[in-house]
Chain A
Amino acid sequence: MSGEEFVPLSLTPLLIGTFAAIACALPGNFLVLRKQALIGDAISHVVLPGIVVAFLLTGAISTWPMMLGAAGAAVVAVVMIEAIRRLGQIEPGAAMGVVFTTMFAGGVLLLEQTDTSTVHLDVEHALYGNLESLIWLDATGWSSVLDVQALAGLPPELPRIALTLAGVILFTWLFWRPLKISTFDEGFARTIGIRTGVLGMALVITAAIAAVAAFDAVGSIIVIAMFICPPAAARMMTNRLESQIAWSVLFATVSAMSGYVLAGYGPLWLGGADAVSAAGMIATVSGLLLALAAVFGPCRTRAGAPGGA
C-alpha cells in the first residue's frame, strides 16, 4: 500500500490503537500481580457514568471535563468498594460487583434521561469506540508527517493518547521501585516508609486516566482486554518483572497492530465487503496471544507453592 493511502487512512488509527493498548497494559501489569485485575474491569465500567456526569455538568463533549469526570468516577468507585469491603465486611469481588454494575446502570439511566442525540455519546460507542473513523484527512503521504499545516489536522485523539501514554510511562518509571516493592511485599514496604495506600490509589488513578483516554478513542472493550491480556500473557513468558513489562508492551503492540489490520482487511481477504469492529478484533487477537502463551509459554505454571520446605 502506498503512503498516499496509508498515512491518511491507517497511520493514525494504528498509532492511536497501539498507544492506547500500551497505556493500559503498563498499569495492568501491576493490577494483575496485585490480584486486582478486576479493578481494571470496574474502572472500564464506571468510565461511562463519569463521562455522562461530566457531559451533564458542562453541556458539551469536551476532553478535559470528560477525563476528570471519568477519573473522578474511578476514585468514587474505589472508595465505595473499599467502604463496602471494610465497613460491611464483604469480600472484594462481590463489593466490586455491587459498585460497578450500579454505577454503570446509573450511567445508562442518565444517558437515557438526557438528550444526547446531537452529540456523539451513546452506550455502544462507549463500549466499542470508533477507531476506524479517526483518520487524518489532511495528510497526503509520508511527507505530511513533517508538514505543520497537515499536522494541525490530526485527529485530536492522537496527541491526547500520546500525552496519556507519556504520563503513564513517567509514572511507572518514577515509582518503579516502590510499586515493585509494595506489590511484592506490602508489609515490608510499609516498614521502609512507603505509603502503600496512597501508592495503590495513585496506581488506580493512573489506570483510570489511561482507561479514559483509551476509551475516548477506542471504547472500553480494549481497555479491559489491554489491562489484563498482555500482562497475563507476559506473565507466562518470564520470571522477571522487567522483562514481563517488556513482553506486555510487545503483546499490546502486536494485538493493536494486527487487530486493526485484520479488522480492516480480513473480511476483504475472506471475500466480505465491510470491515469489522477494530476494537473487538484487537481484543480478540490479544486473547489469542494469551491462549498461545498459556499453552506454550516457558513460565506458564506456578513456581513452587509458598513454604515448600
Chain B
Amino acid sequence: MLELATVQGVSVEEQGVDYSPLAIRGLTVSYGQKPAVFSVDMAVQPGAMTAIIGPNGAGKSTLLKAALGIVSPLSGLVTVFGQPLEDQRARIAYVPQRASVDWDFPTRVIDVVLMGLSRQLGLLGRVRARHMARAMDCLNRVGMREFSDRQIGQLSGGQQQRVFLARALAQDADLYLLDEPFAGVDAATEKAIIAVLKSLKEAGKTVVVVHHDLATVTDYFDHVFLINTRKVAEGPVAQAFTAETLQAAYGGRLATAQIDQISRALG
C-alpha cells in the first residue's frame, strides 16, 4: 500500500537539493485559471548543462521566469545555491527570449553588454577602460567584436542573440539561464553559442537552457528536465531522455516516427 511518510527526517538526497545552484519546490504558476506549471520540483545539477524540454505551452519559459522572480508563482519556493533568490542575484545571469525587448531602442551593442556590468558599476560608477575591455572581451567570445558600435536593431536575429549572451558573460555569474537561445538563429550562431556554453561548463559554471530541438539534445547537454505542466523526468540524458519519457511529455503531440528516430539515435 501507499507509504505515507511523515514530514520529519530530511533525506541525504534532499540536502543535496538544498545546495543545488537552482532548487525549486512545489512551484505552481498560473495565468488565469489554468496552471502553466503545476507543482514542479527541480534540482539543477551543479556544473552541468541542463536542457529544459517539453512541448509548446508546456511551461518551459514560465518555469524559468518564475525561478528568476519575473513572474510571481501561485505557490512554491525557489532557492539559488541554497539561499533565497534575492541574496544570490549577482550569481545568476539570464538571457531572455529575443522577442522580449524593443530592438529599436536607442542603444549600441557595446552599451547592451555593459548593462551586464551594472552590478560592478553601481548607480554612478563611471565606465572605465577595464570595464570597456571586459565588455569587448565578452563580445569577442561570441564573435561580435567588430559590431560593438552598431545600433542593436541593425543586427540579424542571430547576432542579437549573441549580444544577449555577451551581456550574460559580462555578468560573470555561476548560474546561466537561457530562454530558447537557438530559436530562429542561423547555424553559425548556434555553433558559436554552444561553444561558449561548453566553455562555461568547463569553467565549472552551471548552465540551464530552455530548448526545443529534440535532435540536438544528446549532442549539447548532459542533463535534461522534461516538463509538460508537471515534471515528467529529470536526470542525466542517458536515463531521462528516453522514448518513454518523451512519450509521457509530448503525448500525442510527437509523432511515433519522430520518437522512433530519436530512440534510434539514442541507441
Q: Does B119 touch A at the CB level, under 8 Å?
A: yes
From A59-67, A111-119, A132-140, A170-178, the one touching the partner chain is A170-178
* A residues apposed to B, CB below 8 Å: 33, 173-175, 177-178, 180-181, 183-185, 187-188, 190-193, 235, 238-241, 243-244, 302-309
| A303-B94 CB under 8 A given contacts A181-B115, A309-B158 | no
- Other contacts beyond A184-B105, A243-B106, A307-B160: 11, CB < 8 A: A180-B107, A187-B68, A191-B68, A191-B92, A239-B106, A239-B107, A302-B104, A306-B157, A307-B184, A309-B156, A309-B184
| A307-B105 CB under 8 A given contacts A178-B123, A188-B96 | no
Query: Are A239 and B108 touching (Cβ within 8 A)?
Result: yes
Say how far B142's CB is from chain A's closest CB, in angstroms: 16
Closest to A239 in B: B151
Query: Are B100 and A187 touching (Cβ within 8 A)?
Result: yes
Query: Are B121 and A192 touching (Cβ within 8 A)?
Result: no
Q: Considering the chains assembled together, what is the distance between the CA atoms of A306 and B103 in angstroms?
A: 6
Q: Does B238 touch A at the CB level, under 8 Å?
A: no
Q: Considering the chains assembled together, what is the distance between the CA atoms of A305 and B103 in angstroms?
A: 7
Q: Considering the chains assembled together, what is the distance between the CA atoms of A196 and B98 in angstroms?
A: 20
Q: Considering the chains assembled together, what is the distance between the CA atoms of A174 and B123 in angstroms?
A: 7
Within 8 Å CB of B70, what residues of A? 187, 190-191
Say how far B65's CB is from chain A's closest CB, in angstroms: 7
Q: Does B56 touch A at the CB level, under 8 Å?
A: no
Query: Are B106 and A235 touching (Cβ within 8 A)?
Result: yes
Q: Does B42 touch A at the CB level, under 8 Å?
A: no
Q: Considering the chains assembled together, what is the distance between the CA atoms of A73 and B155 in angstroms?
A: 43
Q: Mark B93-113, 1 if CB is under 8 A from A, else 0.
A: 110101111111111100110
Q: Considering the chains assembled together, what is the distance between the CA atoms of A290 and B65 in angstroms?
A: 39
- Chain B CB within 10 Å — which of A178, A180, A188, A308 has the most? A188
Q: Considering the chains assembled together, what is the distance between the CA atoms of A303 and B156 in angstroms?
A: 11
Q: Mark B28-52, 1 if CB is under 8 A from A, else 0.
A: 0000000000000000000000000
Within 8 Å CB of B92, what residues of A? 191
Within 8 Å CB of A177, what residues of B? 118, 121, 123-124
Within 8 Å CB of A193, what residues of B? 86, 89-90, 119
| A192-B98 CB under 8 A given contacts A244-B106, A304-B153 | no
